[in-house]
Chain A
């Protein structure tokens, strides 16, 4: 029978903490890059400019159709060769490009979810299309996209475990190495699951807190 030895966790707590912090760091940088990408291509999807619209659709459809793992490997081995990205920036850009496509769809539906009358009212008051977008439509779209954007961030934290495949240091890779030296795979992977859950669940609690505050301020 397998004898559990949980001391491998306590003895290596610093490894887990370091890994978790790296995971959070990489996820946070990725989402910060993914948001502007998503805003640009999300607006591109509904742009009047045909070329911009086409480019945006191609980007979104390709990324949605390619598994993240394949995308990461491709960016690392193909793009990374030319751009000398390394595993750290290679994985950050991979995650950002991946999440960016989903955020683009969130942004698109957020803007389209604002009733048409809002744009019309703003235009009838003399605002240009750009001003109406900036001052009237986007602030309302922003409130709509916060919840799906937050789930995207949570997804990203989980998805970041895949970058261990291209050798970026984070929680999952640290765990793999620890298993290789300690042979305590059940204990290590169980604890890793717990750590991911703690990170994502605390994030959802924080997000829920801000959502209630936001909805209160408007009611």
Chain B
């Protein structure tokens, strides 16, 4: 479903991604973990071309994302993206946040978009928040609206860049529950996360990055009990013991 082949990327002289390759089969959930500055955000942002690449290839759903001939706006319809800082549209209500793109991009009627939007918000426990502006919502609620907004485009793939890092601890669960549900429904996902318990529970594979490289890939059980590389061991001992 997602195929990343030999991707390189630099910011000026700073080589941020070095020869990164990764396959994510349909309905798999991959956790991308690693120390700060490893290049996790940069990598996940290249998957929907929010970040350009220097060379290599990324194919999502059969479409070569960074090919100049690709209509990136069409390609992005298959790819939902959830940001650490939500990035909801502050001047629109929760429902309008969810319906604007289906209406303006897919040309859905207002009625159809709202019907779908309300269903999505309700399925995420936000039935009573349709008319609320983002500033009136808690962080957890805002992030669930952002998830509904992405899902409203009917993506085949969902990308999450630290979806719970900006949240107060008591709100982390509600967002993780939403992602868990998506996993159950068979959504293909890449999740950058520091929630190790969550990664272990729902992910099919852990991808550990450091210094712009994929250092280790393993099944969660293996990775968290007996990682192969020293880098992963050091990282785990730091995050699990603090």
Main secondary structure of the interface of A (DSSP, over half): helix
- Residue contact B101 to A125, C-beta cutoff 8 Å: yes
Please tell me which one of the listed residues B77, B80, B105 contacts residue A131 in the complex, with CB atoms under 8 A apart: B105
Most buried by B among A117, A124, A125: A125
Which of A58-66, A97-105, A136-144 lies at the interface?
A: A136-144
Please tell me which one of the listed residues B83, B105, B153 contacts residue A117 in the complex, with CB atoms under 8 A apart: B83
- A47 interfacial contact with B, CB 8 Å: no
Distance in angstroms from B211 CB to nearest chain A CB is 25
Which of B16-24, B84-92, B118-126, B222-230 lies at the interface?
A: B84-92
- B79 interfacial contact with A, CB 8 Å: yes
Chain A residues contacting B104 (CB-CB under 8 Å) are 127, 131, 135
- A22 interfacial contact with B, CB 8 Å: no
- A83 interfacial contact with B, CB 8 Å: no
- A54 interfacial contact with B, CB 8 Å: no
A155 to B90, CA, bound (A): 31
Distance in angstroms from A25 CB to nearest chain B CB is 34
- Residue contact A117 to B91, C-beta cutoff 8 Å: no
Distance in angstroms from A70 CB to nearest chain B CB is 41
- B135 interfacial contact with A, CB 8 Å: yes
Please tell me which one of the listed residues B79, B87, B106 contacts residue A118 in the complex, with CB atoms under 8 A apart: B87
Chain B residues contacting A128 (CB-CB under 8 Å) are 73
- Residue contact B91 to A140, C-beta cutoff 8 Å: yes
Please tell me which one of the listed residues B76, B88, B89, B133 contacts residue A124 in the complex, with CB atoms under 8 A apart: B76
- B149 interfacial contact with A, CB 8 Å: yes
Interface size on B, residues (CB 8 A): 27
- A3 interfacial contact with B, CB 8 Å: no
- B50 interfacial contact with A, CB 8 Å: yes
Distance in angstroms from B131 CB to nearest chain A CB is 13
- B115 interfacial contact with A, CB 8 Å: no
- Residue contact A123 to B50, C-beta cutoff 8 Å: yes
- Residue contact B73 to A124, C-beta cutoff 8 Å: no
Chain B residues contacting A136 (CB-CB under 8 Å) are 89, 100
Closest to B82 in A: A124
Please tell me which one of the listed residues A121, A139, A219 contacts residue B87 in the complex, with CB atoms under 8 A apart: A121
A200 to B227, CA, bound (A): 72
- Residue contact A118 to B89, C-beta cutoff 8 Å: yes
A123 to B71, CA, bound (A): 12
- A5 interfacial contact with B, CB 8 Å: no
Chain A residues contacting B208 (CB-CB under 8 Å) are none
- Residue contact A123 to B87, C-beta cutoff 8 Å: no
Most buried by A among B74, B104, B135: B104
- B48 interfacial contact with A, CB 8 Å: yes
- Residue contact A126 to B87, C-beta cutoff 8 Å: no
- Excluding A123-B76, A128-B73, A136-B100, 8 further A-B contacts by CB distance (< 8 Å) are A115-B87, A117-B85, A121-B149, A125-B101, A126-B105, A127-B104, A218-B135, A219-B133
Q: Which residues of B contact A (CB under 8 A)?
A: 48, 50, 73-74, 76-77, 79-81, 83, 85, 87-91, 100-101, 104-106, 133, 135, 146, 149-150, 153
